[in-house]
Structure formats: C-alpha cells, structure tokens
C-alpha cells in the first residue's frame, strides 16, 4: 500500500515558496518522480530567517480499470462440444 504524499504548505509561522518542480514520468514503474526545491521563510524571526530545502518523492499513477472476461453459457457449450469431439 502506497503512502500518501503531503505537500508542505504555508502556515502562520512559516511561508513556503516553491522555486522549482521537475516531474519525470517512469513508464516501467508507473510512477512520477518529483523533485521540488522550495524556500521556507520563518515569519516569526525578526529578520525573516530563510532556508532552502529539496524534496524528492514518487507518486503512483492511478490504476487502470481491468476488464473481466465473462463467458456466456453459449461459449461454455461450444467449448464442451469441442472437447468431446
């Protein structure tokens, strides 16, 4: 089971500014590799203390609905008759 990814958001104490976001799809693993560079500014600090942080994470693609094969009674009868002959 995949863990949900929670994006960092601004609060009354910190301001979050997204500087860069790179999304790279991976067809083989069916995920998106995400690289985010953001600046966090502490609004409670008198000088507005700022840090830059980098986050990397993967998000999975939604699953495609699978079609189930339903065999009708006619198909079953045809298979039985083919096996008997």
pLDDT at 52 over 90: yes
Predicted local confidence at residue 72, as pLDDT? 60
pLDDT at 33 over 70: yes
Predicted local confidence at residue 22, as pLDDT? 94
Of 35-39, 52-56, 72-76, give the lowest mean pLDDT range: 72-76
25 vs 61: CA distance, rounded Å = 9
Q: Which helix (H) or strand (E) holds 31?
A: strand 31-42
pLDDT at 82 over 80: no
Predicted local confidence at residue 69, as pLDDT? 58
């Amino acid at each position: 089971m995949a863990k949900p990814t929670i994006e960092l958001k601004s609060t009354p104490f910190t301001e979050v500014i997204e500087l860069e976001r790179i999304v790279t799809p991976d067809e083989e693993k069916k995920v998106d590799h995400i690289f985010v560079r953001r600046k966090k500014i502490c609004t409670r600090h008198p000088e507005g203390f700022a840090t830059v942080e980098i986050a990397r994470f993967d998000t999975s693609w939604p699953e495609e609905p699978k079609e189930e094969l339903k065999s009708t009674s006619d198909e079953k009868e045809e298979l039985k008759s083919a096996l008997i002959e």
